[in-house]
Amino acid sequence: MNYLAHFYLSNNDKNLIIGNYIADDVKGKAFLNYPEDIQKGILLHRKIDEFTDSHPIVTHSKDIIRDHQKKYTPVVMDVFYDYFLAKNWKKYSEVNLLDFTTDIYKTLFKNINHLPLTSKARLPFMAKSNWLYNYRKIEGINRALTGLSKRSNYPNNMHQASIILQEKETDLNQDFELFFPEIIKFADSEI
């Protein structure tokens, strides 16, 4: 799961949203340096990632793209699943996707003092280009993965991942639609 899914699974809880956003930038036990309610969001993020990474449906999705993406398969699949969430948004939320993403950015900017430096630096770019809302289009996914590709320290072809997304979209969407209700149930039980 990538940003959009983590925010969705935060159930509109401000502190869970903040924790879910910063979790990848907060390593190891550094989460203990944050207020308890934000710690819960960081830990929820980690549990969602663990559940997702070990789930057989997600493993099936990864197997579909593994030959194309190699070691970056998990990263690419997280972004692909955000694409399917954005594309199928109306099935999962009564709130318009644009309104949801706008509210997320407002929440994060209002609480910018709780964000580590890396998360603070990313937020203006994320909001200005509205990454979350643009995940609903192949172009948005291509832009996100091209950015990740450039920031990677190792050779990769994430910048070409949208090709495999278009080729395998039906199968991957089918996996997503089977998996997402399960992660919703899991996240709700953890909250």
Residues 71-77: what's their mean pLDDT?
95
CA pair distance 73, 88, nearest whole angstrom: 22
Our count of domains for the chain comes to: 1
Token readout for 21 is 């956003």
| pLDDT band of 1, cuts 50, 70, 90 | confident
Token readout for 53 is 């990474």
Domain that holds residue 180: 3-190
Q: Tell me: the pLDDT tens digits for 167-176? A: 999 999 999 9
CA pair distance 66, 147, nearest whole angstrom: 20
Count, residues in the chain: 191
Residue with tokens 């997600």: 58
Q: Tell me: the pLDDT tens digits for 106-122? A: 999 999 999 999 999 99
